[in-house]
Structure 1
């Protein structure tokens, strides 16, 4: 078994990292300065983990529109966000009212931006979806370094991810509504996608792939909404590990080198459990790069 296909080790005990319970926690990211940030999508909040577990999350920004995900700006001040119906620049940490809208991409039926991430060249890739998750109403968009926006994939439903391989030549993208994760070859210089392949798919009733990340060995980690699981796959789609999470709707994952951090959601639950909506962590020595910065 090659190193890229080795089975990682993850602790079996998850505990909350803050006192909050989020409606739709998502987009957990490790920054280059060691901080961990995440979003509560439908409330438009950008949050950071506190230094002490029994304290609330730290509010960094509050938008009056859904906030799908963020990437730090390469200037070191502020974030680029997939928010509302396009891309928004948050110009300073902790200054939510000072923002500049860059592009409005989506229209009728009512849609919003969902998960997003930057590649190593500083381009942001972001999914959009209908509020009612109408089939085929989703898309994947790319904001290039020069500010140009391109819709690169259409006819999706609930795009999640994307996530990039360590060398930047493979992109993984989930369509949560279909239970699928596909890989694409990426031209790093242009961002052009090609050679679409099915990495893995989940059968109906076994959960939906949600937020993803790729570790330093190229293994793909996916939150599985509805199944209370995190799954780890080899680059060719072989299931290496399934980890149970004490929340039914895990939404995104982050690897820090000491912990596996998982966001979860209470959205749509009549009777959420005590850890539904919590930000959870278990011990894990697997490493991954900090989230890539946006070139702005």
Structure 2
């Protein structure tokens, strides 16, 4: 029987329109997350409680660390970008700072709204994909950004016919990739060839009933579990490696849970982002914490450190 946990109060009242893209930096012990629609990157340091944001010209949709420690790799509305840590002074002051777009062929076409989720694979490639213009369409595509031998960047197409690109992750041996295709409610898995980054043999890992909303962002833990944030359900669920639910976390004052990631000194705290609530129903509960940042402690699980992008932006 699944364990149930209820979280009634947010960690930070951020009031994000579309909070997303959380990544924990084990080196600095800081959390980074985005508000896509407000074009913000937030920085939060739990040890001091200090937090703030920077605002950018583009919508930033997801973040990952970079191996050389120079900043963050990002998906933005129109493609990929490098976010140097110098663009995120700490504590942040809210001013507009530049990010550096990466010139590759991966661009949105007329059937795609923008880029969305992105995650680094075990070999250091940054995978990010798009969503279609209309809910339910299968016009999204995914690209895999990596540095070529000559120092340039390439981003070949690795997957198409996606509804809405969302949470990704890998088993610890790197041979199986999880991928969230939100608008069909599916977390799929693929055989993943690490040397080439090729995905094959798509199959369903999880499709839950409508009471669990749509799957959004995800992360994995050290025991092979998959933690899935649920849009339009006010929940995060843990799925065992066989796809069974064994933990349900309820957020009764939020509705659209968008992303989750383990952080904290021992990777035992689960940070959860959310979007401003647009709740429709016969009975309207108090969803006033939509858009805030939450943390869940004492779960008894430990996360795994996120992969870092292996590319250099020096000079």
TM-score by length of 1: 0.89
Quick one: distance in 1 between partners of 2:47 and 2:289?
A: 18
Quick one: distance in 1 between partners of 2:203 and 2:242?
A: 10
Q: Could you list the per-position Cα deviations for residues 95-148 of structure 1 after superposition, in whole angstroms to 9, with x for gaps in the alignment?
A: 531423333421103521101110121100112013443601212211123222
Q: How far apart are residue 42 of structure 1 and its match?
A: 1.6
SS in 1 for 2:147: coil
Q: What is the aligned length?
A: 288
Counterpart in 2 of 1:47? 42
Counterpart in 2 of 1:143? 145
SS in 2 for 1:177: helix
Quick one: distance in 2 between partners of 1:51 and 1:66?
A: 25
Quick one: distance in 2 between partners of 1:14 and 1:165?
A: 32
Aligned counterparts, 1:170-181, within 5 A = 170-181=176-187
Counterpart in 2 of 1:17? 11
Quick one: distance in 1 between partners of 2:172 and 2:3?
A: 20
| Structure 1 residues 205 and 233: alpha-carbon distance in aligned structure 2, compared to 1, 3 A threshold | closer
Aligned counterparts, 1:241-252, within 5 A = 241-246=247-252, 247-252=254-259
Q: How far apart are residue 43 of structure 1 and its match?
A: 1.8
| Structure 1 residues 225 and 76: alpha-carbon distance in aligned structure 2, compared to 1, 3 A threshold | same
The answer (yes or no) to whether the contact 2:7–2:250 under 8 Å persists in 1 is no
Counterpart in 2 of 1:262? 272
> What 5-or-longer segments of structure 2 have no aligned partner?
89-96
Quick one: distance in 2 between partners of 1:204 and 1:123?
A: 33
| Structure 1 residues 112 and 240: alpha-carbon distance in aligned structure 2, compared to 1, 3 A threshold | same
Quick one: distance in 2 between partners of 1:8 and 1:121?
A: 34
The answer on 1:280 being equivalent to 2:294 is yes
Counterpart in 2 of 1:37? 32
One of 290, 293, 296 as aligned partner of 2:305: 290
Aligned Cα root-mean-square deviation (Å)? 2.4
The answer (yes or no) to whether the contact 1:15–1:281 under 8 Å persists in 2 is no
Counterpart in 2 of 1:85? 78
Q: Which moved more, 1:265-274 or 1:207-216?
A: 265-274
Q: How far apart are residue 265 of structure 1 and its match?
A: 0.4
Quick one: distance in 1 between partners of 2:157 and 2:48?
A: 40
> What 5-or-longer segments of structure 1 have no aligned partner?
1-6
| Structure 1 residues 134 and 8: alpha-carbon distance in aligned structure 2, compared to 1, 3 A threshold | closer
Q: How far apart are residue 68 of structure 1 and its match?
A: 1.1
Q: How far apart are residue 51 of structure 1 and its match?
A: 3.8
SS in 2 for 1:16: coil
| Structure 1 residues 14 and 253: alpha-carbon distance in aligned structure 2, compared to 1, 3 A threshold | farther
Aligned counterparts, 1:146-225, within 5 A = 146=148, 147-204=153-210, 206-225=212-231
Quick one: distance in 2 between partners of 1:13 and 1:206?
A: 17
The answer on 1:97 being equivalent to 2:98 is yes
Quick one: distance in 2 between partners of 1:126 and 1:210?
A: 14
The answer (yes or no) to whether the contact 1:18–1:49 under 8 Å persists in 2 is no
The answer (yes or no) to whether the contact 2:268–2:303 under 8 Å persists in 1 is no
